[in-house]
Structures are given as C-alpha cells and as structure tokens.
Structure 1
Amino acid sequence: MKPVVGATPRVVKSDQEWREGLSPEEYAVLRQAATERPFTGEYTDTHDTGVYECRACGAELFRSETKFDSHCGWPSFFDPADSEAVLLREDRAMGMKRIEVLCASCHSHLGHVFEGEGYGTPTDQRYCINSIALRMVPQG
C-alpha cells in the first residue's frame, strides 16, 4: 500500500502483524486495496442502528444515520462519523481517476468516495465502502 503523504497512522503494525490479525480476505482489502465482489458483503443491505468501525483497528468511521441505499453493491454512507475519521487520496489504478478512502487511524483501505451522482444526500457524496473493511457495533 502506498504511504499517505503528510499523515502518520496512530496504529502501526508490521506486515506480519497485519497478516496474523486479519483473515486473508480482510488483509487483501484492508492492506492491499482489493475490492470485495458487489452485493456479497455483510453490510450491503443492513439497516440496523449502530456505529461502523474499521475492522483492522476499531476506529469509528461511520454511523448508521449516514448510511443510505445506493443499490451499487457495497455499503454507502454520505458522511464519515468525524471529519478526521478518514483520509482521502487520489487513486489512478484501473485506468481511471478516483478518490480512495482510508482509515485515518491505521491507513487501511476502505473503498472510494464519489460526488455529484444525484442521490440527494446532504453532502452529495457516496462513500462506497467494502463491508469486509467494517465492523458494525449495534446501538440502541
């Protein structure tokens, strides 16, 4: 994974420690920026109330109040739980320009953010996040 310029992760582990703490599928997405297949993730259609944490480090990333049905195949959120919960960086992989979303605490890959798609959310953004990168903690 490419380092994020100007940002230091609060959770730092060796590659071996990440491999030991994550399943092979989790490691591929979180540490190698892979993408899970659409419509296969645990949280794609979840509507429970709770907090979505980074599966790698436990940092709070999103809240259920900002989750919406985009029908894109991955969980979608219109805003992070905190303005500093995620980091954004340009991603030119796969022959296109996108904005990658990373956990600010451990710099794990979460997914991508898109703007101007017309979903009618308060931010006009869609944080398209891999379910396997998240852990939902129910509340209420």
Structure 2
Amino acid sequence: MAYDVEKPDEQWRAELTPAEYAVLRKAGTEPAFVGEYTDTKAAGVYSCRACGAELFRSGTKFESHCGWPSFYDPKDSDAVELIADTSHGMVRTEVRCARCGSHLGHVFEGEGYPTPTDQRYCINSISLRLEPEEA
C-alpha cells in the first residue's frame, strides 16, 4: 500500500530509536505496564511517533488494565488502518497509522468494556506521542 509518508528503511532506522523502530516498523510489542502512556490521564491528542499524524484523543482513552494504553475510538476513522493479523498463531486485527503504515498495536471487540464502541484499541506507548492540551 502507498502511504503519504514513505521513507527508505535506512531513514526510519536513523530517525527512530532502536526500540521505536522495532515496534513501529517491525510490528513488535513493548513489554506490558512499562509504557510512558499506560496510566497517563493528561488531556490532549496522541499522535504517531513516526510521522506526527493525529490518531487518538485523550477523551477516548480508558483504563483497561491490560498493560498498554487503551482507546475506544480513533480520532478520525481514516487516521488508522486495520489489517488482518494471523501471526503468532492468533487471529487479531492490527492497527497501523494510515499516514505512514507504522504499527501501533491491535484492536479487540466484544470484551465487555463499558465503552460506546465495545472496542479496545490496545496501542503501544512507544508508537505514540502525547500533545497536551493548552491549559
């Protein structure tokens, strides 16, 4: 798929830390309960750490106690793309940034969380950058 932001692999490696590269460009997962935004309650917009695209608003973030930041809806339905993921012997739905194709995490449905969408976008903190609202 063609993205608005495309860069050679060498450029991604130069611009991202090794940990960011492993998650964003190689679909890795950061360890649970260690991410910068797992428990953050600050108001603002969460953007893609790789390209800066706005992805989620803090108003849709909720406590799922799963070890990663959870959101029930993207900022804009076109902000993310959903891809079938059958890796690791599981059937899941991968969430990628629609602007640069970077891996963000996975979305799950029907888990019973009291949210308007019944979805949990389980997103790696390292894939995001919080832009706090002005006070």
TM bracket (short chain): over 0.9
Give 1:120 shift. 1.1
Tell me what 2:40 maps to.
46
CA distance in 2, matches of 1:9, 1:135: 20
Tell me what 1:4 maps to.
none
**Selected match of 1:30 from 9, 24, 27:** 24
Q: Which runs of 5+ in 1 are unaligned?
A: 1-6
CA distance in 2, matches of 1:41, 1:101: 17
TM-score of the superposition, structure 1-length normalised?
0.95
Letter in 1 for 2:13: R
> Does 2:8 correspond to 1:14?
yes
Aligned alpha-carbon RMSD (Å): 0.5
Identity of aligned residues (%): 68
Q: Which runs of 5+ in 2 are unaligned?
A: none
CA distance in 2, matches of 1:107, 1:9: 7
CA distance in 2, matches of 1:110, 1:125: 15
Letter in 1 for 2:46: Y
CA distance in 2, matches of 1:38, 1:104: 24
Q: Which runs of 4+ in 1 moved over 4 A?
A: none
Tell me what 1:56 maps to.
50
Q: 1:29-74: CA deviations, max 9, x gaps?
A: 0000000000000000000000000000000000000000000000
Tell me what 1:92 maps to.
86
Partner secondary structure for residue 107 of structure 2: strand
Q: 1:57-112: CA deviations, max 9, x gaps?
A: 00000000000000000000000000100000100001010000000000000000
TM-score of the superposition, structure 2-length normalised?
0.98
Tell me what 1:66 maps to.
60
